[in-house]
Amino acid sequence: MLSIEQRFDHSAYVSMTMEFRCNLKCVHCMIEGTMDYLEPQSRQKFDELLAYNREHQKWSGLILTGSEITLHRDLPELAIAAKRSGFKHVRIQSHGMHLGKLEYCTKLIGAGVDEFFISVAAADAESHDSITQVQGSFQKTLQGMENVDRWEHTISITNTVVTKKSYKQLPQVVDALAHLKNLAQMEFWFYWPMSGKDDKSLLVSHLEMLPYLQEAVIKAQALGRRVEIKNFPQCLLGDFKHLLVNGQPQLFIDPVFWREFEKNGFYQCKHRENCQSIECLGLNSAYIERFGWEEEILVPQYNG
């Protein structure tokens, strides 16, 4: 088993997208327009990855992902095969609803899944369900996380996408999950629309969102959680700038996804040439179109 810090080393993990169906309709979904035609990785590719890793021992952890991986009928078998091939940890990325059924949760954990990356859209049922557009989803997700928490060897990680609909609730998201013992890390992903425009009007300005983010980080850290922030100007994070982690494990996904991803137009900043931040993604096209370049509030970093 890896130490807790190693379990958050993105270079030790590899992701495979095995399922592109989903039964939520999150308003912030970044692949809703592409889900219908993106192809999941085949079982043959999956088996090839296992064989490669058995030989080269490149990664310790496998992440099974897609739109909603628990809709993949063979998920337990995939986890069993991954463990047999030598992966120490198997993580799923999920909305967590199906884990609310204890029998299914037990089956997955028995198959070797020991890490659960769960999307939590907001802090209460009304807000969460209005974002996922499925009534009852918050309760099922919370039940799923509580079920996972019954096993001592599991860890969970949450991901909250920060939009106009969720940003004021970030501290309350931390509170709502405070009772979970195995929640090791909370991630806050500043929304990107996979488009050059904020077509759904979900973006919120950095400075408007920042106090809520800071409060959430302080609360999460007080509970002993690790925190990662994604897609936020590093220079605005002050004492929390080390929490900006935009890196991800190597991802095997339909190449068409990257064509869509490029529409975001990351890495734009008026200070880019003077800034030595290696982690910052700068601004993206939709943000600039909505709020401008904000060069007067952004400050070039001189120490990476």
**What minimum distance in Å lies between the beta carbon of 295 and ligand SF4?**
8
Tell me which residues in 255-274 interact with ligand SF4 (CB under 6 A): 269, 271-272
Position 301 contacts ligand SF4 (CB under 6 A): yes
**What minimum distance in Å lies between the beta carbon of 280 and ligand SF4?**
3
**What minimum distance in Å lies between the beta carbon of 240 and ligand SF4?**
13
Give the closest residue to 62 by CA, choosing from 96, 100, 113, 25: 113
**Phi, psi angle pair for 17, to nearest 5°:** -90, 110
> Among residues 36 and 278, whose Cβ is nearest to ligand SF4?
278
Q: Count residues near ligand SF4 (CB under 6 A).
A: 14
Position 277 contacts ligand SF4 (CB under 6 A): yes
Distance in angstroms (rounded) separating the CA atoms of residues 143 and 122: 15
Residues in contact with ligand SF4, shown as a per-residue x/- string from 40 to 79 under the rule CB under 6 A: ----------------------------------------
At 86, the amino acid letter reads: G
Q: Which stretch binds ligand SF4 (CB under 6 A): 36-44, 162-170, 190-198, 275-283?
A: 275-283
Position 300 contacts ligand SF4 (CB under 6 A): yes
Distance in angstroms (rounded) separating the CA atoms of residues 33 and 38: 10
Distance in angstroms (rounded) separating the CA atoms of residues 95 and 23: 9
Q: Which stretch binds ligand SF4 (CB under 6 A): 75-83, 120-128, 187-195, 292-300?
A: 292-300
CA 207 to chain centre: 22
Position 233 contacts ligand SF4 (CB under 6 A): yes
Cβ contacts of 259 within 8 Å, gap of 6 or more: none
Contact in structure between 214 and 188 (CB atoms under 8 Å): no
Q: Tell me the CB-side half-sphere exposure of residue 191, using CA atoms within 13 A.
A: 29
Residue from 53, 65, 195, 234 in contact with ligand SF4 (CB under 6 A) = 234
Residue from 62, 120, 275, 286 in contact with ligand SF4 (CB under 6 A) = 275
At 60, the amino acid letter reads: S
For residue 63, the surrounding DSSP H or E stretch is: strand 61-66
Task: Return residues touching ligand SF4 (CB under 6 A).
Answer: 233-235, 269, 271-272, 275, 277, 280, 282, 298-301
